[in-house]
Chain A
Amino acid sequence: MAAPRPTILHNRVALLLAAAVAAAALTLPFLSFAPNRLLSGRGIPLAGALAGVVDAPWGWAALLPGAVILAVPFLRPSRAVSAVYSAAGVLFAAGLVWLAGAHAAHLAATSAPAARTSFGAGFWVMEAAALLAAMDGVRRLGLPPAWRIAVGGATAALVAAQLAAGHLDQLSILKEYANQRDVFAAAVLRHGLLVAGALVPTLLIGVPLGVLANRSFHVRRLVFPVLNVIQTIPSIALFGLLMAPLSALAGALPGLGISGVGPVPAVIALTFYSLLPIVRNTVEGLDGVPPAVREAARGMGMTRRQVFLKVEVPLALPVFLSGLRITLVQAVGLAAVAALIGAGGLGAIMFQGLFANALDLVLLGAVPVILLAVAVDAALKLAVSLAVSLTGRRAA
């Protein structure tokens, strides 16, 4: 047997992430410091942020996990290395946030109250690389998807703890939060209500439509072209298109409490967009039930209702839930755009920031939208994998 060629490179993904971390640390600004929220800031490199942390002399230790991320591409792969890699990703992600918070506090103590410290490009690149490293480690360990959620949750918990302790209060995004405190919670709630408000009619219409389309070729031929066309209409255009008829309706029936702007057209438009994935995946899920299984169920003497509830629904559930996942993630994102027609929600904060040229206010709206989407995505992926394991795999 030939001796294995000596190699120092063991993991290409890790190498890419390490290169990103190294490049971002050396060349991109870690933080940005501006005298007030409207002026553009001056970049602070990672080394500068580190040197500035005088209140915590061991602050550089927050970056130690970064050294692990840099080293892993050159280590022989093993379960231990993957576990350490994943943990280093989590700790580095939290450590970067901690460092940003600490330096922002340091700067705040020595400058005018209007001064702002924001995350720089270097922070974002390293934060993303750290999270990807955490997930890559989980993947290499071959752990079930629930572990990814656990790792994401651990990172979120470490950041949440810093938030709760007030450690991040001097960062610009939290200063924006302090200004918006009274509307922020309402915006999150409104955002959730928009999504939920669209979900209910979507399920009430989409699921029966999907079942019908599975049963009838004619319905299928009618439904999908319509839904596909709706899906191609840009969201702003659809919001706009709904304004005219709804305004007319509001004029004709003032007692109904609807209008051409506000949450009602937003919920209607979101419902239109949500129908396609729900109907499509309902149909696909039911189509996936093997004909022999249906025939056997009928031949055993199940009623139509029993065939549907005992056989078709459980077997179609995983595909249906993936449709629900797509629908919800899409609706969380689209609901942000609905702010343009006065529907409120986190989009309102984003657009307020855009119009005021206050980037951190945009972030205050965007970051929760992203977190909401990621959380919904993770929860439904978990539900899909649970449904798959409960319903077994299809017979070959």
Chain B
Amino acid sequence: MIAFEGVTKRFEPWVAVDGVSLTVQAGEFCVLIGPSGSGKSTLMKMVNRLIVPDAGTIRIDGEDIAGLKPEELRRRMGYVIQNVGLFPHWTVERNIATVPALLGWPKARVQDRVAELLDLLKLDPRRFRDAYPHQLSGGQQQRVGVARALAAEPNILLMDEPFSALDPITRGALQAEMAAIHKATRTTIVFVTHDMDEALKLANRIAVLDHGRLIQFGTPLDILTNPANDTVRDLIGREDWGLKLLAVETVGQRVRSDGEAFGQPVPGTAPLRQALAEMVARGTDRLPVVDEQGRPAGVLHLSDLVRP
């Protein structure tokens, strides 16, 4: 659990973060979003004391981090940045092992952990373990960056626009990877982005910041259905607001148990937006739905999508 209490940071003459209070629950995927200069990165970097607040306190599991040694604090957290920042003179293996090495883990444990992480991030150990960062594509580098952040099994993962420099396909793949990793590890994640689609896709809760102030903090559905002001509405995008709404609810939430439909079924876990796309592509107004085990779970009608 990360609790911000009245946190303020000034970079004279402007205020980067202005009296922000919010609590990120343990195991939560919290996305900080806002326009450039909104203070979202500054707020995140105060969690690992790369930036020290001028006022207010930040507690992790109740403990005020101002009293901790910054290096020890940072070694307990994963940190992923937009420009990756892999150490160019170290192999992939040594990069991933950075924090375990700082913590003095025994060699065998480090090697096992590296193998596990390469596997988790879908990087073939034979090809990548001894490779240098310059031999990797941008997407592969950021996979290594994520693996490095996860290496010492941190309770908290801080990610500063980690995927915004990647092409859309690579970004999508890594977003899916992050969602899966979060589901599997239940690590508390604080994720900074300026991309609302990314936020809606990944977040349990979204904190919207503007001019250093917290404008709104809520679930993706909250944000979409009750935007607090025009800044939030601008971030959502006024034109495809409805489609974004369909993206945060699943087929399972709208499925009806009666009736029948034919063709390739959609899983109940799929977002409604995907179901709509299927209907348009197939020229039909109803789709069969299956549950996670592949058993029939009912039918989704086009009219179900617009049900209030």
- Contact A293 to B85, CB < 8 A, known contacts A300-B99, A301-B72: yes
B188 at the interface (CB under 8 A from A): no
Chain B, residues 59-75, CB within 8 Å of chain A (1/0): the string is 00000000000111111
Determine whether the beta carbon of A300 is less than 8 Å from that of B134: no
How many angstroms between the C-alpha atoms of A65 and B72 in the bound complex?
68
Determine whether the beta carbon of B71 is less than 8 Å from that of A303: yes
Segment 277-305 of A: residues with Cβ below 8 Å from B:
290-303
B89 at the interface (CB under 8 A from A): yes
How many angstroms between the C-alpha atoms of A298 and B98 in the bound complex?
11
CB distance from A386 to the nearest CB of B (A): 13
How many angstroms between the C-alpha atoms of A296 and B159 in the bound complex?
11
From B74, B84, B102, B134, contact of A392 by CB (8 A)? B134
The interface residues of chain B lying within 8 Å CB-to-CB of A5 are: none
Number of B interface residues in the complex (CB < 8 A): 29
A221 at the interface (CB under 8 A from B): no
CB distance from A221 to the nearest CB of B (A): 22
The interface residues of chain A lying within 8 Å CB-to-CB of B79 are: 296, 299-300
- Contact A306 to B85, CB < 8 A, known contacts A301-B72, A392-B134: no
How many angstroms between the C-alpha atoms of A394 and B86 in the bound complex?
10
Segment 82-109 of B: residues with Cβ below 8 Å from A:
82-90, 98-99, 102
Determine whether the beta carbon of A393 is less than 8 Å from that of B134: yes
Determine whether the beta carbon of B85 is less than 8 Å from that of A290: yes
CB distance from A287 to the nearest CB of B (A): 15
- Contact A392 to B72, CB < 8 A, known contacts A292-B81, A299-B81, A302-B102: no
How many angstroms between the C-alpha atoms of A347 and B113 in the bound complex?
62
A314 at the interface (CB under 8 A from B): yes
A395 at the interface (CB under 8 A from B): yes
Residue of B nearest to A315 (CB): B89
Segment 143-181 of B: residues with Cβ below 8 Å from A:
145, 148, 158
Determine whether the beta carbon of A395 is less than 8 Å from that of B81: no
Residue of A nearest to B73 (CB): A301
Chain A, residues 383-394, CB within 8 Å of chain B (1/0): the string is 000000011111
CB distance from A226 to the nearest CB of B (A): 32
CB distance from A127 to the nearest CB of B (A): 41
- Contact A315 to B81, CB < 8 A, known contacts A298-B50, A306-B102, A393-B132: no
Determine whether the beta carbon of A300 is less than 8 Å from that of B148: yes
CB distance from A55 to the nearest CB of B (A): 59
- Contact A394 to B134, CB < 8 A, known contacts A300-B148, A315-B88: yes
From A292, A297, A298, A392, contact of B132 by CB (8 A)? A392
How many angstroms between the C-alpha atoms of A294 and B88 in the bound complex?
11
How many angstroms between the C-alpha atoms of A296 and B78 in the bound complex?
10
B42 at the interface (CB under 8 A from A): no
The interface residues of chain B lying within 8 Å CB-to-CB of A291 are: 83
Determine whether the beta carbon of B84 is less than 8 Å from that of A297: no
How many angstroms between the C-alpha atoms of A293 and B90 in the bound complex?
12
From A300, A303, A395, contact of B133 by CB (8 A)? A395
Residue of B nearest to A299 (CB): B79
Determine whether the beta carbon of A395 is less than 8 Å from that of B141: yes
CB distance from A125 to the nearest CB of B (A): 44
A22 at the interface (CB under 8 A from B): no
A396 at the interface (CB under 8 A from B): yes
How many angstroms between the C-alpha atoms of A311 and B94 in the bound complex?
12
Interface centre among A293, A300, A390, A396 (most CB of B within 10 A): A300
CB distance from B154 to the nearest CB of A (A): 10
How many angstroms between the C-alpha atoms of A310 and B87 in the bound complex?
10
Segment 292-349 of A: residues with Cβ below 8 Å from B:
292-303, 306, 310-311, 314-315
Segment 345-396 of A: residues with Cβ below 8 Å from B:
390-396
Determine whether the beta carbon of A392 is less than 8 Å from that of B81: no
The interface residues of chain B lying within 8 Å CB-to-CB of A290 are: 83, 85, 88
Determine whether the beta carbon of A292 is less than 8 Å from that of B83: yes
B48 at the interface (CB under 8 A from A): yes
The interface residues of chain A lying within 8 Å CB-to-CB of B48 are: 299
Determine whether the beta carbon of B71 is less than 8 Å from that of A293: no
Determine whether the beta carbon of A300 is less than 8 Å from that of B50: no
Determine whether the beta carbon of B89 is less than 8 Å from that of A300: no
The interface residues of chain A lying within 8 Å CB-to-CB of B70 are: 301
CB distance from B150 to the nearest CB of A (A): 12
CB distance from A113 to the nearest CB of B (A): 62
The interface residues of chain A lying within 8 Å CB-to-CB of B134 are: 392-396
Determine whether the beta carbon of A292 is less than 8 Å from that of B99: no
- Would you list 13 pairs from A and B whose C-beta atoms are within 8 A, ordered by A residue? A292-B83, A292-B85, A293-B86, A295-B85, A296-B86, A299-B81, A300-B75, A300-B79, A300-B98, A301-B73, A301-B75, A302-B102, A303-B71
Q: A-contacting residues of B (Cβ < 8 Å)?
A: 48, 50, 70-75, 79, 81-90, 98-99, 102, 132-134, 141, 145, 148, 158
Q: B-contacting residues of A (Cβ < 8 Å)?
A: 290-303, 306, 310-311, 314-315, 390-396
Q: For the A-B complex with A293-B86, A395-B141 known, give 5 more contacts whose Cβ atoms are closer than 8 Å.
A: A292-B84, A299-B50, A300-B102, A392-B134, A396-B134
